[in-house]
Amino acid sequence: MQQVPKSLWNANYLFLVLVNFFVSISYSMVAMVISQYAVSMGMSVALAGSLTGAFSIASMVVRPFTGYINDHCEHRNLLMLATVGMGIATLGYGFTDAPIVLMAMRLLHGAAFAFSSTVNMAVIPGLVPSNRITEGLSYYGIVQSVGVALGPSLGIAIIGDGQYQLNFVISSLIALAAAALVFLLPKMPCQPSSGIRRIRLGDIFAKECILYAFIDVAIASANGLETSLISLYGAQQHIANIGLYFTVSAVVLCIARLVLGKLADKKGVAFALYPGLALIIGGFFILWRAHTLAVFLTASVIKTVGIALARPAIQAACLKAVPPHRRGSASSTYYIGSDIGQGTSPIIGGRIVDMTGNADYGAAFAWYTLPLFLGAGAFALWNRKNRVSQQQGG
């Protein structure tokens, strides 16, 4: 059995963080240009959009099974295969102009990414001190945010006047460099199996984590809504540099996670979750009636601090709710909620905007406070029931 380290900043944790950093850069270098690449080859905008969405669809389809496979396979080998798969898919984009092959590469990329993210989150508790899991997840998230922030600028700079293949090759090399770093991690064997048996629902979904996955549907919806609507909303309000919204969000997320990462470990999940959800709700209500860049940036700051508080807290709560040999199922259950929120909110949010009749983008943000209120209410009921049970048991 692997010994849990006493120090947070140990070599194995640092290697895993670096793997995540390289994967994040590689992923975001491609994500920002894949539709543009497809259109440049003569594909329709609709087909280009389908290529973009195929990544999330593949991730959502395989996600329920990633936890079970993680819990029954050696983690380092699984992470290696997933990372190499991302490198192969990224390289494949640049060597075909056939839509069906591009779609296959996109599906492979999404499936491999789903395995990578599930394994990474599941193994973190075994690489950091048990009383600093939320903090470890926070720093992990910071590095991921930095990678996602750097990748698009790097990718756009590389393609220049159409050098898409060069972008894909470099992105692939970065992913393969991440795979090489995986070799530096220790072997992380799974729970010994008692033999071949039929897969049960509990192997795929961790019922202890369903509440947290439900809450993250709401939080991930906030991210999906921003990604799909903020640029259009800013253009409607004649704000030329609306991209600053995302820049400010990335910077604030890094700072907030550095400052707030230890909070849930010390005070408990409720202490971080309630104010976190309240801040996201507040940010969305500000966006409801935003007309100037200053108001957009204010909403960005408030909302991002809320996410920095709430998300690491529920991630850690998921992983602590199950025994170590079921952390893969816990991780995949959490990410199922994230995939649902991220994937459905652009569609539903766009529908809300269309239904207003006057392209009221703010209305979508106002309506999407409801899932956040429901998440807070569900946690409050669960927390109260849990306290009553503990008192009666005591």
Query: Is the predicted pLDDT of residue 371 greater than 50, yes or no?
Result: yes
359-369 pLDDT tens trace:
898 999 999 99
* pLDDT at residue 320, as a whole number: 87
- CA of 272: how far to CAs of 138, 347, 381, in Å? 13, 30, 16
* pLDDT at residue 2, as a whole number: 54
Q: Are 166 and 40 in contact (CB under 8 A)?
A: no
- CB atoms < 10 A from the CB of 92, how many? 18
| Residues 175-195, mean pLDDT to the nearest whole number | 78
- What is the C-alpha radius of gyration for the chain, rounded to an integer number of angstroms? 21
Q: What is the DSSP letter of 72?
A: T
| Residue 185 or residue 264, greater confidence | 185
CATH of domain 205-388: 1.20.1250.20
70-123 pLDDT tens trace:
777 788 889 999 999 999 999 999 888 888 999 999 999 999 999 998 888 888
Domain map of the chain by residue range?
Answer: 11-187, 205-388
Q: Do domains 11-187 and 205-388 have the same CATH topology?
A: yes
296-316 pLDDT tens trace:
999 999 999 999 999 988 988
Strand stretches in the chain, DSSP E:
none
Residue of 75, 118, 115, 125 whose CA lies nearest to 324: 125
* pLDDT at residue 179, as a whole number: 95
Average predicted confidence (pLDDT) for the chain: 85
Under the banding of pLDDT at 50, 70 and 90, the label for residue 45 is low
| Residues 212-235, mean pLDDT to the nearest whole number | 86
Under the banding of pLDDT at 50, 70 and 90, the label for residue 64 is confident
The model's pTM is 0.73
State percent of the chain over pLDDT 90.
33
CA angle centred on 367, ends 375 and 376, rounded to 5°: 15
Q: Are 106 and 34 in contact (CB under 8 A)?
A: yes
* pLDDT at residue 194, as a whole number: 47
Strand, helix or coil at 255? helix
Query: Is the predicted pLDDT of residue 193 greater than 60, yes or no?
Result: no
Write down the CATH superfamily of domain 11-187: MFS general substrate transporter like domains (1.20.1250.20)
Q: Is the sign of the CA dihedral 41, 47, 48, 53 positive or negative?
A: negative
- Whole-angstrom distance, CA of residue 281 vs CA of residue 77: 41
